[in-house]
Amino acid sequence: MSTFTISGKLVDLFARRIYPAIITASDGVIVSIEEIDNVPDQYILPGFVDAHIHIESSMLVPTAFAQMAVVHGTVATVSDPHEIANVCGETGIQYMIDNSKLSPFKFFFGAPSCVPATGFETAGATLDAKAVDALLHNKDIWYLSEMMNYPGVLRKDPEVMAKITAAQKAGKSVDGHAPGLRGETAAAYAAAGISTDHECFTLDEALDKVKAGMQILIREGSAAKNYEALSPLLQMHPERVMFCSDDKHPDELELHHINGLVKRSLQKEYDLYDVLRAASVHPVQHYKLPVGLLRVGDPADFIVADNFDEFNVLQTYIAGQLVADGGKNLLPDVAATAINNFETGKKDACAFQIKTTNAKPIIRVIEAIEGQLVTNMLQLPGKVADGCLVSDTAQDILKIAVINRYDKEAPVAVAFIKNFGLKLGALASTVAHDCHNIIAVGVDDDSMCAAVNALVDCKGGIAVARDKDDVTTLPLPVAGLMSLDKGHKVAETYTRLNAITKEIGCAMHAPFMTLSFMALLVIPSLKLSDKGLFDGGKFEFTGVEM
């Protein structure tokens, strides 16, 4: 029998008190907590839980993600394998489960509810209600992942409702995804059985959803940053709040995770217990997770911190195992294999052309917004050269393209976007929510083609082209989404590519993450799929020219 003790100032989130104590754990379970005198000047508190994240967006397989997250005090994640499911279907979901079991870190996966998210794009797989029902009966599946098809919920689409009913019959919660939904429509969405939402980007929207009975996940990811808008909920409705990152790129994960939100919240002087409950207790209780919360009989999942000002995580324990100490990961490396679904071949630069017969066209332009997933639809004068619509760097109007990765013969979909700021070259990525086709933005057709073809060569990844002859890539051989390398190496390469984007003019904080959401049709208002330009407000295709 493996037994150990640790002492310090125990933070009891249920009694809302801090007291000196010694904790005894045996075989990974807390067997006693005794109040004593003279303990070390350190705080012991429950480990953090990310209430909604796509592990794939870290560009790391689960075991590599765990190595980075434990350093920040994270012991568990509520993980939606929606990204790899769109590429590889049930095989991809099982890949994530199998890899996660090679780590003591606690991954809790959901059954993706919307694969594909819409019928207006091409995915690598489809999960119908029958497939989702089967997943929900898998002991390794804990909930129904974000129900992105909120129009389907509101009109009671039979396939959508069958998935929700299957989750309810299995006794598992249903996650929401309804950006901008307000008032009666938000209430109708929640009444269908949707229990959470992580897409709120205004406080008023969040309050409408709280009124409708939903739990609000305050999201701070690499692209979508909603903490500042939503943090007042910690004071207004503290029992209805959790923290999540949704999508976190490796360079930011190297710096912080849920601990960053905890620290910011304490600096804003929100109640200590409310903040820590949002970071641990609430997701554990809502999803019924076997994660310890510092009670006798709980798994020994906890962290040790120095104080609540600097709030440095000194140690992280999972099931009684010390997994991080002094800012160092103690989890061993785990070898992983790659799976993929990538069929498209190389393209010619002419495939990125948009021909026009109009000398002075007015075009629809996607307006990307820093720190948000929503976009605006602009109507602006288009620039014409040699009978084609082209990028206009003077007005920061650039070409954007999406290429079907699953079909060699499919044409390239091309439109225009504003606010990426490139003065030369192009960016490209196979991380393109949610179907993960190839997405690219660039100044000229040759550079866009070069960046795309570099990804065809490595069967997925991210790329920056300074021009057609100078391309730098980060290969992502696992479904075109994840690397097989260690997190720090991936973060280093990603940081280098991010720096190149700045050198060629991009001022965005996270250009690749922002680009990845420009194909996400269920987030309004104007996006681009492999099948064409899509009006998210009307939920239908539209033309580039007015």
Kindly indicate the confidence band of residue 283, based on its pLDDT and cuts at 50, 70 and 90. Answer: very high
Of 239, 295, 284, 235, give the one whose Cα is nearest residue 258: 284
Do 413 and 530 touch, CB atoms closer than 8 A? yes
Measured distance CA(57)–CA(224) in Å, rounded: 13
pLDDT at 372 over 90: no
| Mean pLDDT (whole number) for 79-96 | 98
| Mean pLDDT (whole number) for 484-505 | 96
pLDDT (tens digit, 9 = 90+) per residue, 260-280?
Answer: 999 999 999 999 999 999 999
Kindly indicate the confidence band of residue 252, based on its pLDDT and cuts at 50, 70 and 90. Answer: very high
Question: Token digits for 418?
Answer: 């504003």
pLDDT (tens digit, 9 = 90+) per residue, 378-409?
Answer: 999 999 999 999 999 999 999 999 999 999 88
Q: What is the pLDDT of residue 145?
A: 98
With pLDDT > 70 as the criterion, what percentage of the chain qualifies? Answer: 100
| Mean pLDDT (whole number) for 74-91 | 98
Q: Rounded to the nearest 10 degrees, what angle do helices 82-100 and 129-136 cross at?
A: 20
Those residues whose C-beta lies under 8 Å from the C-beta of residue 151, and which sit 6 or more positions away, are: 539
Q: Rounded to the nearest 10 degrees, what angle do helices 62-69 and 82-100 cross at?
A: 80
Measured distance CA(377)–CA(397) in Å, rounded: 13
Do 264 and 412 touch, CB atoms closer than 8 A? no
Q: Where are the alpha helices (DSSP H) in 137-218?
A: 150-154, 158-169, 183-191, 203-211
Question: Token digits for 328?
Answer: 């160092």
Top CATH class of 58-290 equals: alpha beta
Question: Token digits for 248?
Answer: 């976190």
| Mean pLDDT (whole number) for 311-333 | 97
Spell out a b/e string for 120-148, using b for 16 or more CB atoms within 10 Å of the CB, else e: bbbbbbebebebbbebbeeeebbbbbbbb
Kindly indicate the confidence band of residue 510, based on its pLDDT and cuts at 50, 70 and 90. Answer: confident
Tokens 């996400």, residue located = 520
How much is the CA Rg of the chain, to the nearest whole Å? Answer: 23
Q: What is the pLDDT of residue 447?
A: 98
Average model confidence (pLDDT) for the chain? 96
Say which range, 223-227, 357-361, 533-537, has the weakest mean pLDDT. Answer: 223-227
CA distances from 525 to 57, 179, 289, 368, 509 (A): 23, 11, 36, 10, 21
Domain ranges of the chain: 58-290, 349-541
Those residues whose C-beta lies under 8 Å from the C-beta of residue 260, and which sit 6 or more positions away, are: 72, 220
Strands (E), 351-467: 354-355, 362-368, 375-381, 383-385, 388-390, 397-403, 413-418, 426-429, 438-442, 461-467
Kindly indicate the confidence band of residue 222, based on its pLDDT and cuts at 50, 70 and 90. Answer: confident
| N residues, the chain | 546
As beta bridge partners, residue 53 has 79, 246
Q: What is the pLDDT of residue 165?
A: 98
Peptide bond into 525 cis (omega under 30): yes
The predicted model scores a pTM of: 0.94
Q: What is the pLDDT of residue 1?
A: 60
pLDDT at 117 over 90: no
Kindly indicate the confidence band of residue 223, based on its pLDDT and cuts at 50, 70 and 90. Answer: confident
Those residues whose C-beta lies under 8 Å from the C-beta of residue 74, and which sit 6 or more positions away, are: 47, 48, 49, 50, 257, 258, 259, 316
Question: Token digits for 274?
Answer: 């409310």
pLDDT at 371 over 80: no
Q: What is the pLDDT of residue 13?
A: 98
